[in-house]
Amino acid sequence: MLDVMSEPSPQPADAADGVGDALLRPVRPGNAFEDTVQRLLQTVRLGVVGPGEKLPPERDLAARLGVSRDTVRDAIKSLADAGYLASRRGRYGGTFVVDDPPAPGRTGGPEHAEAHLDDVLRLREILETGAVRQAARRTLTAAERETLWARLKETRGAGPGDYRRLDSRLHLTFAELAGSPSLLPLVADNRMHVNAFLDGIPLLERNIRHSDDQHETIVIAVLAGDADGAAAAMEEHLAGSAALLRGFLA
């Protein structure tokens, strides 16, 4: 939401110090949007740009992070929708940190502390990267191939209310196709923990579109029998989700 104001406003925070340089460094190209959101959240959470202070201009952020201005603009809009930033028009306009940013999200008691988040995400990478690698190595039946493609289409067509449920089902299908009956319960249990964290952060439209594209890359690699490609695509996909979770919850 745009907050139209005309009175003088704080100047942009000096994010050119050592801390700012460390946070606003070039992001990984595979997850540019997610990493940009995480970096901007870090600047807010760590007080590099404090409440009421102005972020550097979009063009400067884009240059520092090594991303397009569209990516920066989408990240800022997502964080404005989530209640962290506000845009002002006029002579003294720009993007500002709100006076009272949301506190880091929490999904329960001590078991959902930052150390637990790291453990859940690390286990997820091990399980799900291995699952798609094994699925790609198998000779899938026609029914298995049709099921995988159907799960992908369901996820792509999902609305916000159904997205996480259908996203979970697609990821569980990858595990099922690995051919190890013992793997699926492990992935399902891990996914329960992942979803508990995901429920504590907002759904971001651009992240959903990006995830859909990554899902398709993984599915195509599995169907083509490209084990290394499937594993690499899954690793990149999970890294994007991890960046958002750590940004919002850590």
Q: 136-157: per-residue pLDDT in tens?
A: 999 999 999 999 999 999 999 8
> How far apart (Å, rounded) are the C-alpha atoms in residues 88 and 216?
38
Residue 48 pLDDT: 79
Residue 86's H or E segment, with its range, is strand 85-88
Listed ranges 13-17, 107-111, 166-170; the one with the highest mean pLDDT? 166-170
- Mean pLDDT rounded to a whole number for the chain: 87
pLDDT band at 12 (very low <50, low <70, confident <90, very high): low
Specify the domain boundaries for CATH 1.10.10.10 within the chain: 18-97
CATH fold for domain 110-249: Four Helix Bundle (Hemerythrin (Met), subunit A) (1.20.120)
Share of the chain above pLDDT 70, in %: 87
Q: Which residues, at least 6 apart from 32, have a Cβ–Cβ distance to it below 8 Å?
A: 65, 67, 68, 71
Q: pLDDT at residue 61 above 50?
A: yes
> How far apart (Å, rounded) are the C-alpha atoms in residues 25 and 64?
6
Q: pLDDT at residue 105 above 80?
A: no
CA angle 220, 232, 222 (to 5 degrees): 25
Q: pLDDT at residue 176 above 90?
A: yes
Mean pLDDT, range 89-95, rounded to an integer = 85
Residue 110 pLDDT: 44
- How crowded is residue 22: how many other Cβ atoms within 10 Å of its Cβ? 12
pTM score > 0.85 for this model? no
Q: pLDDT at residue 65 above 70?
A: yes
Residue 104 pLDDT: 67
Residue 82 pLDDT: 92
Residue 106 pLDDT: 53
Where helices occur in the chain by DSSP H, the ranges are 18-23, 32-45, 58-65, 69-81, 114-137, 142-156, 160-176, 183-198, 205-223, 227-249
pLDDT band at 11 (very low <50, low <70, confident <90, very high): low
Q: pLDDT at residue 107 above 50?
A: no
Domain with residues 18-97, CATH architecture: Orthogonal Bundle (1.10)
Residue 215 pLDDT: 98
CA distances from 226 to 134, 136, 160, 183, 194 (A): 10, 6, 31, 20, 27
Amino acid at 181: P
Reference 241, options 24, 21, 22, 30; nearest CA is 30
Task: State whether the Cα torsion 62-79-248-183 is positive or negative.
Answer: negative
Specify the domain boundaries for CATH 1.20.120.530 within the chain: 110-249
Q: pLDDT at residue 93 above 80?
A: yes
pLDDT band at 113 (very low <50, low <70, confident <90, very high): low
pLDDT band at 19 (very low <50, low <70, confident <90, very high): low
